[in-house]
Amino acid sequence: MAFKKIGPQVWINLLFILFCLSCIFPLFAILSVSFSNETDIIQNGYRLFPAMFDFSAYAYILYKPLQILNAFKVSIFVSFFGTLVSLLITAGIAYPLAREDFKLKNKLSFYVFFTMLFNGGLVPTYMLINNYLHLSNTIWVLILPYLAVPWFILILRSFMQKIPHSIIESCMMDGASEFRIFFQIILPLAKPGLATVALFMLLQYWNDWWLSLLYIEKESLVPLQFMLYRMMNNISFLTNSSNMMPPGMKNVVLPSESARMAMAIVAAGPMLLVFPFFQKYFVRGLTVGAVKG
Amino acid sequence: MKKQQGILRTQSYKKNIQLGILALPAILLIFVFSYVPMAGIFIAFKNINYEKGLFHSPWVGFDNFKFFFTSNDVWLVVRNTLSYNILFIAVGTLLSIVFAILLNEVLSRRMVKAYQTIFFFPYFFSWIIVAYMTYSFIGPYGVLTSLLERIGINFDFYTETWVWPILLTLVSIWKGLGYMSIIFYAGIMGISQEYFEAAAIDGATKLQMIRKITIPLLMPLITIMTLLSIGKIFYSDFGLFFFVPREIGQLYPVTQVIDTYVYRMLKASGDLGMSSAVGLFQSAMGFIVVLLSNFVVKKVNEENKLF
């Protein structure tokens, strides 16, 4: 029996290994370009293994890192502050929705999930945020619109539905208020769910370019992803004159191709380092959301 | 007795109020960022004049929708959106089901864990990073471009329209396949092992088990996932169509979709009435499609319906 299986096993594993390679390969490609020499790139194109390691791209982008540091600051603030607040707000509505004995449960569910089916479209939303709420070019525009995402509410609600109602009931018997039950019993019990949703939120905030594309023009509020977008066509966004070049690199070819890729690495790096470790939370969240959806 | 009931009632009243207060911030946020814009669809029926403001601009009825019939752009854009989405749904769903079934056949647990982790990689990248990756393959100095050059072919990917349907499909599948397969894989894991054991005793082959057990039992999940994607068939991944082709105008005939069209119209011409008309068309059509497909599923199999 086992012998029979060896053949298919090899093929299946081979297929998956190939696909895994294709998942990692592009990252590897930009990584090696970022370590390549600019003249070598122009003569020979990108290579998968740089002819020689050249750190000038990193020297170039990190020489006057004010803008990059600032973009990092914006991204980090938005991601962490946004996730924290969003987590509280999402839990705040997910919990009543998970309570069978909450009177408004059905009406409120409809109120939340209807927005997943129908929306006002880009123009009214843009007009509202830009012309009436005057949120453009403030840090809040990068945070507020994602604070209550129906999909995350749905996932967290599924987690909270698994908390036995008897626990809540016994707390009520003891005369605890709903607030106390929520903060002292539900939140600690829902930790795995909160962790999962927090990861989704963190990723959403960190990877977001949509809000900055629409509402941010002020240099000091440009987050990392948006900065990358602006550099796609124009590296000079980073350093607008040659005297921004590190001293040893004057009169050398501007490492624009490699610097661009170095920036991509700098921007993608933090998430890549963090997320593989939390992969199991992701799988859990996905399955809860999908199966219960 | 009566007194106790009274206490219970005030308790339940208090409880509902307190739960409502917990939900209040989210209710307000959803109201402001989702429901207020819904009310804003009236913009589509106005000729917006910046000086007069939204509310004092003149009503023009369906004038903003007229250009649907006069301009070819809109139909091209709608066609692109629909055909790309149908392609992505068909290829993506099929491949991810195959992947999930095969992943379930892998014997080594350690390998399964490793695959799962790596499958998620593309999901973690923002579309901008993905655009950089594509560029590193097909840009002027890209890996693929220089490879082609070495065998004597000079090919500029960013000006050739015919390669983009293939490229965009490849990139889209690449980014979503791992994620989707893991969802279906989790669905397969949820199937009770007893079915397979019983089938094995009866001498069923692997293929028979897949056809008669795995796929039928996975069907509810497949239907839900497909319904969800069909519901978004008038919406596109803005990032994929905006960043990956690097906003090259020459490629618009094959890369412009409703979302990018509305965005560009809003940013460039500033014709609010017309761009919100297209947006309203998108929302309304999307809504109808969800209701319709849910209705069809309900007819076929009550259990698989979405709502």
Chain A residues touching residue B125 (CB < 8 angstroms): 27, 207, 268
Gyration radius of chain A's alpha carbons: 24
B75 min Cα distance to partner chain A (Å): 19
Share of chain B above pLDDT 70, in %: 95
Residue of chain B whose alpha carbon sits nearest to that of A129: B33
B117:A90 CB<8 A? no
Please give the structure tokens belonging to residue B17.
Answer: 């109020």
How many residues in chain A? 293
Chain B residues touching residue A182 (CB < 8 angstroms): 22
Query: Which of B19, B36, B118 comes nearest A102 by C-beta?
Result: B19
Lookup result for tokens 């129906």: A150
Report the residue of B22, B77, B120 to disrupt the A interface, i.e. the one with the largest count of A CBs within 10 Å: B22
Mean pLDDT confidence for B55-81: 83
Distance from C-alpha of A268 to C-alpha of A26, rounded to nearest angstrom: 12
Let me know if residue A19 belongs to a domain: no
Query: Which residues are within 8 A (CB) of B191 and not within 5 positions of it... i.e. 6 or more apart?
Result: B213, B214, B217, B218
Residue of chain A whose alpha carbon sits nearest to that of B18: A178
A127 touches chain B (CB under 8 A): yes
Chain B residues touching residue A37 (CB < 8 angstroms): none
A44 touches chain B (CB under 8 A): yes
Distance from C-alpha of A272 to C-alpha of B133, rounded to nearest angstrom: 15
Domain count, chain A: 1
B275:A19 CB<8 A? no
By residue range, what is the domain housing residue A275?
63-289
Lookup result for tokens 């088990």: B209
Let me know if residue A50 belongs to a domain: no
φ and ψ at A110, to 5 degrees?
-60, -45
Distance from C-alpha of B196 to C-alpha of A57, rounded to nearest angstrom: 56
What secondary structure letter does DSSP report for B190? T
Distance from C-alpha of A286 to C-alpha of B182, rounded to nearest angstrom: 8
SS3 of residue A20 by DSSP: helix
SS3 of residue A284 by DSSP: helix
Q: Which of A270, A258, A257 is nearest to A205 (CA)?
A: A270
What CATH number did the domain enclosing A201 receive?
1.10.3720.10
Mean pLDDT confidence for B159-184: 92
Mean pLDDT confidence for B148-161: 88
Strand partners, B46: B59
Contact A237, A230 (CB under 8 A): yes
Global confidence as pTM? 0.89
Distance from C-alpha of A142 to C-alpha of A211, rounded to nearest angstrom: 6
- pLDDT tops 80 at residue B9: no
Distance from C-alpha of A92 to C-alpha of A179, rounded to nearest angstrom: 10
Quick one: pLDDT band at residue B306, thresholds 50, 70, 90?
low
What secondary structure letter does DSSP report for A269? H
Distance from C-alpha of B103 to C-alpha of B96, rounded to nearest angstrom: 10
Cα end-to-end span (Å), chain B: 41
Let me know if residue A142 belongs to a domain: yes
Chain A residues touching residue B272 (CB < 8 angstroms): 123, 127
What is the per-residue pLDDT for B46? 81
B259 touches chain A (CB under 8 A): yes
Distance from C-alpha of A146 to C-alpha of A164, rounded to nearest angstrom: 30
Distance from C-alpha of B34 to C-alpha of B54, rounded to nearest angstrom: 18
φ and ψ at B44, to 5 degrees?
-65, -20
Mean pLDDT confidence for B110-131: 89
- Comparing B59 with A204, which gets the higher pLDDT? A204
Query: Which residues are within 8 A (CB) of B3 and not within 5 positions of it... i.e. 6 or more apart?
Result: none
What is the per-residue pLDDT for B256? 93
What is the per-residue pLDDT for B62? 80
Kindly report the average pLDDT of chain B as a whole number. 87
B30 touches chain A (CB under 8 A): yes
3-state helix, strand, coil in chain B (%, to 5): 80, 0, 20
Let me know if residue A185 belongs to a domain: yes
A251 min Cα distance to partner chain B (Å): 22
Report the residue of B31, B42, B104, B118 to disrupt the A interface, i.e. the one with the largest count of A CBs within 10 Å: B118
What is the per-residue pLDDT for A281? 73
SS3 of residue A265 by DSSP: helix
What is the per-residue pLDDT for A1? 34
Task: List all residues of chain A from 194 to 253 with a beta carbon under 8 Å from chain B.
Answer: 203, 206-210, 225, 228-229, 232-233
Task: List all residues of chain B from 202 to 221 with a beta carbon under 8 Å from chain A.
Answer: 221
Chain B residues touching residue A133 (CB < 8 angstroms): 32
Contact A34, A261 (CB under 8 A): yes
What secondary structure letter does DSSP report for B59? B
Query: Which residues are within 8 A (CB) of A112 and not within 5 positions of it... i.e. 6 or more apart?
Result: A93, A97, A150, A153, B26, B30
SS3 of residue A266 by DSSP: helix
Say how many C-beta atoms besides its own lie within 10 A of residue B231's C-beta.
Answer: 20
Residue of chain A whose alpha carbon sits nearest to that of B175: A23
Reported as a single tens digit per residue, the pLDDT across B231-285 is 889 999 999 999 999 888 889 999 999 999 989 888 887 778 888 888 888 989 9
What secondary structure letter does DSSP report for A133? S
Cα four-point dihedral sign B110, B108, B99, A288: negative
What is the per-residue pLDDT for A59? 81
Distance from C-alpha of A4 to C-alpha of A143, rounded to nearest angstrom: 56
- pLDDT tops 70 at residue B81: yes
Q: What is the pLDDT along chain A (293 residues), one digit of tens a residue?
A: 334 467 788 899 999 999 999 998 898 888 888 888 877 777 777 777 777 788 888 887 777 778 888 999 999 999 999 999 999 999 999 999 999 888 899 999 999 989 988 888 898 999 899 989 999 999 999 999 999 999 999 889 988 988 888 888 888 888 888 899 999 989 999 888 898 899 889 989 999 999 999 999 998 999 999 998 988 776 655 544 444 556 555 555 667 778 888 888 888 888 777 776 677 677 766 666 554 43
Chain A residues touching residue B225 (CB < 8 angstroms): 290
Let me know if residue A43 belongs to a domain: no
Lookup result for tokens 């069923």: B204
Distance from C-alpha of A262 to C-alpha of A56, rounded to nearest angstrom: 10
Please give the structure tokens belonging to residue A230.
Answer: 């602006």
What is the per-residue pLDDT for A2? 37
Residue type, B72: N
What is the per-residue pLDDT for B146? 85
Distance from C-alpha of B215 to C-alpha of A157, rounded to nearest angstrom: 28
B124:A209 CB<8 A? no
Let me know if residue A195 belongs to a domain: yes
B162 min Cα distance to partner chain A (Å): 23
What is the per-residue pLDDT for A242? 46
A286 touches chain B (CB under 8 A): yes
Reported as a single tens digit per residue, the pLDDT across B18-42 is 999 999 999 999 999 999 999 888 8
Distance from C-alpha of A57 to C-alpha of A69, rounded to nearest angstrom: 16
Q: Exposed, middle or buried by CB within 10 Å (0-12, 13-18, 19+), for B174?
A: middle
Contact A143, A81 (CB under 8 A): yes
Report the residue of A37, A42, A46, A75 to disrupt the B interface, i.e. the one with the largest count of B CBs within 10 Å: A46
Range of weakest confidence among A74-83, A207-216, B53-62, B161-170:
B53-62
Say what the ipTM of the complex is: 0.88
Chain B residues touching residue A46 (CB < 8 angstroms): 136, 139, 141-143, 146
Q: Which of B30, B11, B23, B6 is nearest to A104 (CA)?
A: B23
Contact A46, B140 (CB under 8 A): no
Cα four-point dihedral sign B201, B205, B211, B214: positive
Let me know if residue A26 belongs to a domain: no
Let me know if residue A136 belongs to a domain: yes
What is the per-residue pLDDT for A3? 42
Chain A residues touching residue B65 (CB < 8 angstroms): none
Cα end-to-end span (Å), chain A: 39
What is the per-residue pLDDT for A293? 38
Query: A-B interface: how many C-beta pairs under 8 angstroms?
Result: 284
Range of weakest confidence among B3-12, B53-62, B229-238, B273-282:
B3-12
A293:B121 CB<8 A? no
- Comparing B300 with B147, which gets the higher pLDDT? B147
The CA-CA-CA angle for residues B284, A156, A169, to 5°, reads 125
